[in-house]
Amino acid sequence: MDNNLKKTPLYETHLKYGAKMIDFAGFAMPVQYESILKEHEAVRKSAGLFDVSHMGEIIIEGKDSDKFINYIISNNIAKISDNQAMYSPMCYANGTTVDDLLVYKFSNEKYMLVVNASNIDKDYNWIFENKSGYNIAVKNISNEVSELALQGPKAQEILQKTTEYNLDDMKYYHFDKINLAGVNCLISRTGYTGEDGFEIFLRNDYAQSMWEKILAVGEEFGIKPAGLGARDTLRFEAGLPLYGNELSDDITPLEAGLGSFVNFEKDFIGRDALFKQKQEGLKRKIVGFEMIDNGIPRHGYDVYAQGEKIGYVTTGYLSPTLKKNIGMALISSKFANIGNEINIIVRNKPLKALVSSKNFYKKNYKK
């Protein structure tokens, strides 16, 4: 493995647990420990613990913070209160996607953006380029903060064993600063798996002890350390987009089916382009599909219908939960109706598939 890769504070711990390491967005990250399938099943049935310290954290503070963030994201942060988080795309002027991110609101004058690892520098530069005229300070704290994600139906029971804070009081997409196992952390009821769970932000020097503590108290519940392989199969089954697959600087939030996170009642970068796209109708969109013929679809495979190329697969797997070959694809809108037959080109052979909902798995969030 490339020695120039960035390492999270848990790198040595991953090696101790037998992780298979890969290059992900310039970081040496665990793709799996025991197996992707077993880690996936642990999260669906009990709990899994992920190191997501490669994600970026950017603090925005100052008296114009709320105005500025509402200008750079498509969702409307006026709809959330202090200690609440919000998901949103962030767009270029042409409507395509800079990134999709979470906004954590501490107050009208202080926010944290949690951004994708592959986009940290790009996002920071984009924010910096657009902050002229706003009374704000921007700080990239990504290298100072570790992030763990505890996900699964047993996540609350496990985490409760480390704190006196009543986790029943923490609603979905809310957060608080609480003491976990003697360490001050920021905890949010968020995740990327389709299950209930928590994301834990803490100082780098406490990451290893927190990892070990959560795995120890979770042992009786069947917790497993989980890698990025299971994180991808879990988010995919739940119909959640991955930047670089279902979203990119070539794909708009509307094409990705994220129209509910685009608020046209306010001004934001990309609004005019997206409004025009909505008015004119989408020429292409992200759809789900299920294979009829036997073959596993993979990212980048071509999609055909009626003898013409209509798009490409953005994500595809043999679903560990559903035991079916399923995928998501960006295709021409005229073929996007549920039930339409399409062909996925697998090893130069056209294999039949049917367009389906992207929500392959019913999400189990605690609302």
CATH number at residue 177: 3.30.1360.120
What is the number of domains present in the chain? 2
Residue 338 has pLDDT above 90, yes or no: yes
Say what the pLDDT of residue 57 is: 98
Instruction: Count CB-CB contacts under 10 A for residue 222.
Output: 15
| Binding residue positions for substrate | 199
Query: Dihedral, CA atoms, 119, 120, 125, 127, nearest 10 degrees?
Result: 90
CA angle 158, 162, 165 (to 5 degrees): 100
Whether residues 37 and 150 fall in one domain = yes
Whether residues 42 and 158 fall in one domain = yes
Distance, in Å, from the CA atom of 85 to the CA atom of 80, rounded to the nearest integer, reads 7
SS3 211: helix
Q: Is the dihedral of CA 278, 279, 284, 289 positive or negative?
A: positive
Mean pLDDT of the chain: 97
Identify the band that residue 367 occupies on the pLDDT scale cut at 50, 70 and 90. Answer: confident
SS3 308: strand
> Is 193 contained in some domain?
yes
Say what the pLDDT of residue 159 is: 98
> Is 221 contained in some domain?
yes
**Domain-terminating residue out of 205, 237, 269:** 237
- The domain in which residue 289 lies consists of 283-356
Say what the pLDDT of residue 3 is: 76
> Is 250 contained in some domain?
no
Residue 366 has pLDDT above 90, yes or no: no
| Binding residue positions | 199
48-51 vs 224-226, strand pairing mode: parallel
**Domain-terminating residue out of 178, 206, 237:** 237
> Is 57 contained in some domain?
no
Q: Which residues pair with 30 in a beta bridge?
A: 21
Rounded mean pLDDT, 183-206: 98
- Look up the pTM and report it: 0.97
Residue 120 and residue 16 in contact, taking contact as beta carbons nearer than 8 Å: no
Whether residues 287 and 226 fall in one domain = no
Element (H, E) at 229: helix 228-237
